Amino acid sequence: MRMWKAAALVAVMLATAALAQDKPPELTPAGKAILQDKLAIDGRPLYDRPGPGKPMTFPLAMCTFPGGFCGAVRRDGSVAVLPKYDWVGTFSDNRAAVRVGGLYGYVDEDGHEIVKPQYRIVDDYHFGFAQVDVDGKSGLIDRDGKMVIEPKYGFVRAIGPDRFRVSDTRWLGGVQGGEDFSEGRIAYPPSGGVSVTVAEFVLGNNGGEIIDLSGQRVGPPPVPWTPGFDKDDPSIRWVQKDKLWGLAHADGSWLIEPKFQQAGSLVDGLARVSLTGKIGFIDRAGNFAIEPVFDKAWVFERGIEHT
């Protein structure tokens, strides 16, 4: 393993030296073709795109540079992040995670290495902070890489400029040697009911609390804890009453009175629900976009719905 890492570092150093002396790096012919295909798909209406149908964000990470190195390109194909990494993540808060030799750091949208690769596991930036792993514990760094919340938690993530959810529970996804903090993945609690993101499930059911930047506790999760419905409108949440789920406003009034046996958060504008044993999908207003007529159905993706 050490020999592999050493070889990888030498290869990166050689590639970097070659880049400094030769012409500016560019995608391989295959990489250019892939970029053009991605741009063509990005130009289509959302409903006409394969998969989730989300717009592309730039700079766009690509690993189709000579030698198989990874970097990031702008929409016009010019290089924003030099191809000297073995992996580059998606940009969030003007930062993207990069990996070399099995360790992660961060670059900005101009390719400047803001945080040198040094962490085994990292998260995307949220509200200007990113979760990083230090010896099996999670801490938070700011946009300049300074550790602002010491690594002593199982999980920590910013939910606002000065509010952070923390938990002693540690939840990692991915494979051994390539673990991640499972951003955006869906967890289904064993008892059934609401489908939520892993972070919501961990923090909501395992004693998580909210702290400020000084580390002082400023509040626990809502009691009883309830998962969100629309990430763009956190004032509406799923609430369970008499074993049925409904949607409630922040003032306690009902958008939809409890009637669903199971319910989920919005994915591309539609949420999966179960009514009288049948699966359907509701929209942001709580109206059925797809009537509950299916025995089984997965989370909806625009243009694709597996039943």
The pLDDT value given to residue 104: 97
The pLDDT value given to residue 251: 72
pLDDT category at 64 given cuts 50, 70, 90 is very high
Q: What is the mean pLDDT of residues 272-279?
A: 92
Q: Which of 37-51, 99-113, 200-214, 257-271 has maximum average pLDDT?
A: 99-113
Is omega for the bond preceding 25 within 30 degrees of 0, making it cis? Answer: no
H helices of the chain, in order, are 2-21, 29-42, 198-205
74, pLDDT greater than 70: yes
DSSP SS3 for 7:
helix
Q: Determine what percent of the chain is predicted with pLDDT higher than 90.
A: 50
213, pLDDT greater than 80: yes
- 46 phi/psi in degrees, rounded to 5: -55, -40
Give 10's contacts (C-beta < 8 A, 6+ positions apart): none
The pLDDT value given to residue 118: 97
186, pLDDT greater than 80: no
Q: Residue 166, CB half-sphere, CA atoms under 13 Å: how many?
A: 22
Is omega for the bond preceding 189 within 30 degrees of 0, making it cis? Answer: no
The pLDDT value given to residue 149: 97
The pLDDT value given to residue 199: 46
CA pair distance 112, 91, nearest whole angstrom: 13
3-state helix, strand, coil in the chain (%, to 5): 15, 40, 40
Give 92's contacts (C-beta < 8 A, 6+ positions apart): 124, 125, 126
pLDDT by residue (tens digit) across 278-288?
Answer: 999 999 999 99
CA pair distance 116, 118, nearest whole angstrom: 6
CA pair distance 221, 226, nearest whole angstrom: 9
The pLDDT value given to residue 47: 61
Q: What is the mean pLDDT of residues 141-166?
A: 93
Sign of the Cα pseudo-torsion (31, 32, 35, 37, in order): negative
Domain ranges in the chain with CATH number 2.40.10: 227-307
Is residue 50 within 8 A of residue 37, CB to CB? The reply is no
Which residue in 178, 175, 176 sits closest to 99, CA to CA?
178
Query: Tokens in use for 161?
Result: 């400029």
CA pair distance 235, 229, nearest whole angstrom: 9
Residue type, 118: Q
220, pLDDT greater than 70: no
Average pLDDT, the chain: 81
The pLDDT value given to residue 242: 87
DSSP bridge pairs for 238: 247
CA pair distance 198, 267, nearest whole angstrom: 15
198, pLDDT greater than 60: no
62, pLDDT greater than 60: yes
pTM above 0.85, yes or no: no
- 226 phi/psi in degrees, rounded to 5: -135, 140
The pLDDT value given to residue 96: 97
Lowest mean pLDDT among 92-96, 166-170, 179-183: 179-183
Lowest mean pLDDT among 16-25, 77-86, 267-276: 16-25
The pLDDT value given to residue 224: 52
Is residue 104 within 8 A of residue 98, CB to CB? The reply is yes
pLDDT category at 53 given cuts 50, 70, 90 is low
The pLDDT value given to residue 99: 96
The pLDDT value given to residue 260: 95
Longest dimension (CA), the chain: 70
CATH number of the 227-307 domain:
2.40.10
The pLDDT value given to residue 50: 67
Q: What is the mean pLDDT of residues 59-65?
A: 96
Sign of the Cα pseudo-torsion (219, 223, 228, 234, in order): negative
The pairing of strands 178-180 and 137-141 is: unpaired
Query: Tokens in use for 57?
Result: 């964000």
